[in-house]
Amino acid sequence: MMRSNRIAGPNRTIMKFGYAIIYVPDVEAAIAFYEKAFGLTRRFVVESGEYGELDTGATALAFAADFLGEKNLPGGYRRNRAGDLPSGFEVALVTEDVAAAFEKAIAAGAVLVSHPEVKPWGQVVAYVRDLNGVLVEICSPL
């Protein structure tokens, strides 16, 4: 007998992934970096500068100011900083030309982690870190 993951009834909740929000010291600088390094387009940055989003398709890549992280997470959190080890999280950006995207990112100030290489499953993958030390995977479609 197969089991369904659906919750029966009129009050079932269907979840979908809406945002990936990265806390950073300077939202405008992070948005500008992703525009320059990865060719993404900003959706908006709020006038106060404490939150902004990039247009990345169905799910938004967003940035929020560290002080919002302090407010939202009173127990604390590990801040993203260039000099620290990256967190156990990555932003994966998919492109048909990984080598060109990698070179563009490096020229814009991304920090080299690993050059593009073909993985055993056939995908081309490279890693860089952004200006705040966030790990970014640049990869070909699967």
**In this model, does residue 114 exceed pLDDT 60?**
yes
pTM for this one? 0.88
**In this model, does residue 9 exceed pLDDT 80?**
no
Mean pLDDT in the chain? 92
pLDDT (tens digit per residue) in 19-53: 999 999 999 999 999 999 999 999 999 999 999 99
Q: Which residue has the higher pLDDT, 18 or 37?
A: 37
Domain-by-domain residue ranges, the chain? Answer: 19-139
Instruction: Please state which of the ranges 7-16, 26-35, 100-109 shows the lowest mean pLDDT.
Output: 7-16
Burial 84-122 (b: 16+ CB within 10 A, else e): eebeeeebebebeebeebbebbeebebbeeeebeeeeee
- pLDDT band at residue 2 using 50, 70 and 90 as cut-offs: low
| Two structure tokens written together for 111 | 């920090």
pLDDT of residue 12: 79
pLDDT of residue 84: 93
What class is the 19-139 domain?
alpha beta
